[in-house]
Structure 1
């Protein structure tokens, strides 16, 4: 019987340990990336100034759901198309909750794009809100339907104007003027500043009665809404 090759066995153990450590590090990095994109560490209820912000649902609904979004965000598009319809039918239309839309444009800057169309799209949505709540929500959904790749500049002034023209009853001249209004840009910046203060660092970020809800899918938010009514 030959003696075991201790040097070879030691090397094998070292390789296995290195592989294990590498796997753990990779898992931690993935978790941190997901946390940074979609979550924050705040567990305390936050306060927001919602004056003049677009509301979906009854103004006297007992629960308030605040949603920070970027119109270039594909996850926000998924929320708007897949989760919001369920939330609307079960909780918004039944008067249990009202949803307040808040702007959090950041992706164009994150990707270092030559033009900040994240902010421009949010400004356009604010401009549509000036023409009425129903027009705002129609335009809000249309922006997500028309969303293109997040790493390209697609929310140009012309594209936003063309899209506005598809909304019934829009005063296009007033909308076009509003796009260049610094007061409208300030409204967007105010939304983002409130989000930053509350710890928003990704979109969509959802708060139910001021409390951040990490899981923004319909079932989890539904439970949060039910809990908030107790």
Structure 2
């Protein structure tokens, strides 16, 4: 559980450690929806503990997925931009659930932030949700011991701001074919912004 104590000590220190590593810890597994050959590429930088991200994923993304991603117009990648320790932990659990469960787990985490973000023991609050998404207690324990994954999740934020020079002032932030769009938008506004790139 060393990585949890390190996270509790402060994300700033961990960001610094990730930045100075010779080769760096790398990035978490890529999570994306749609056809990679789609004419519009979107990257969303989001935090599992961010209420605005939760709003976008509940109110905008489902209809947008149906009309743009599922129809081959958009390829959308989701990248971790953790704002705090709960965001790191939530991202860990989602990635550990595997590719078949990842997006369902993310939806669950965002929709039920009040149930776990402020919990005194995050792992205890998240464990039942992990069970709902096919993880056993052994899977959860292995996830909690995966220090490489926590470093990768934290490094995802550093890579965005330092290596890729994305100006992320808040979450969610979207990069649509190179154009940076900040903040959660409703479907009408977001789809209009995307239409400009079609």
TM over 0.5: yes
The alpha-carbon deviation at position 172 of structure 1 amounts to 4.8
**Maintained 8 Å contact 1:117/1:154:** no
Q: Which residue of 2 aligns with 1:59?
A: 36
1:195 equivalent to 2:157? Answer no
CA distance in 2, matches of 1:50, 1:62: 25
Q: CA RMSD in A?
A: 2.5
Question: Per the alignment, do residues 99 and 179 of structure 1 end up closer, same or farther by CA in structure 2, a change over 3 Å counting?
Answer: farther
Q: Which residue of 1 aligns with 2:14?
A: none
Moved over 3 A (4+): 49-52, 169-172
CA distance in 2, matches of 1:63, 1:51: 23
1:158 equivalent to 2:124? Answer yes
TM-score w.r.t. length of structure 1: 0.65
* Mean Cα deviation higher: 145-154 or 198-207: 145-154
Question: Per the alignment, do residues 150 and 176 of structure 1 end up closer, same or farther by CA in structure 2, a change over 3 Å counting?
Answer: closer
Q: Which residue of 2 aligns with 1:208?
A: 176
**Maintained 8 Å contact 1:64/1:97:** yes
Question: Per the alignment, do residues 172 and 61 of structure 1 end up closer, same or farther by CA in structure 2, a change over 3 Å counting?
Answer: farther
Q: Which residue of 2 aligns with 1:185?
A: 150
Question: Per the alignment, do residues 161 and 149 of structure 1 end up closer, same or farther by CA in structure 2, a change over 3 Å counting?
Answer: closer
The alpha-carbon deviation at position 100 of structure 1 amounts to 1.0
Q: Which residue of 1 aligns with 2:103?
A: 137
- What number of residue pairs does the alignment pair up? 169
CA distance in 2, matches of 1:94, 1:159: 37
CA distance in 1, matches of 2:116, 2:169: 17
Question: Per the alignment, do residues 156 and 149 of structure 1 end up closer, same or farther by CA in structure 2, a change over 3 Å counting?
Answer: closer
* Mean Cα deviation higher: 76-85 or 143-152: 143-152
Question: Per the alignment, do residues 146 and 216 of structure 1 end up closer, same or farther by CA in structure 2, a change over 3 Å counting?
Answer: closer
Q: Which residue of 2 aligns with 1:117?
A: 86
